[in-house]
Amino acid sequence: MRRTVVIVGLIAALIVVGGVELFGAQKAPACRVKGDPLIFGAASFLVPGLGQFMNGQDGKGLLHLAVAIALPTVAGFLIFTLNPPLPIALLVPSALYLGWSVLSAMDAYEVASTYCKA
């Protein structure tokens, strides 16, 4: 239980840190790299948040990375506290990570196609 509280606290802190960029006035990001938006999307699919860092959105990239780590960790912790864990439930952390990777890739692609084209 203590670990869950610590993980939720860390996620809340990251949201507060990245909140100004995420929920504040939206402005054009300062792209670190100009190029094909598919590269940004692929980078963010492989490592959620990497495409956002390449787009120049550091707070958003850090938040995407933290959520990509926290979602399967918390889900796995909750599943393994079940006694005995259901075999199909073991797929839940992987499905959550894959889903978040896809959403992160779509976001990085959309921002890159709007602001970071070569």
Percentage helix, strand, coil for the chain under 3-state DSSP, each rounded to 5: 75, 0, 25
Average per-residue pLDDT for the chain: 82
User: 99 vs 34, which has greater pLDDT?
Assistant: 99
Encoded amino acid at 14, one letter? L
**Predicted local distance difference test score (pLDDT) of residue 57:** 94
pLDDT classification of 13: cutoffs 50, 70, 90? low
**Predicted local distance difference test score (pLDDT) of residue 76:** 84
Q: Which domain holds residue 19?
A: 2-24+31-115
Query: In this predicted structure, which of 22-26, 43-47, 69-73, 80-84 has the lowest mean pLDDT?
Result: 22-26
**Predicted local distance difference test score (pLDDT) of residue 51:** 94
**Residue 40 in contact with residue 51, Cβ under 8 Å?**
yes
Q: Which residues 6+ apart lie within 8 Å of 16 measured at CB?
A: none
Q: What is the distance between the alpha carbons of residues 13 and 23, in angstroms, rounded to a whole number?
A: 15
pLDDT in tens, 59-96: 999 999 999 999 989 888 888 887 777 777 778 888 99
pLDDT classification of 20: cutoffs 50, 70, 90? very low
**Predicted local distance difference test score (pLDDT) of residue 5:** 59
The DSSP secondary-structure symbol of 89 reads: G
How many domains does the structure of the chain reveal? 1
pLDDT classification of 117: cutoffs 50, 70, 90? confident
3-class state of residue 11 by DSSP: helix
What pTM, to 2 d.p., does this model score?
Answer: 0.75
**Residue 71 in contact with residue 96, Cβ under 8 Å?**
yes
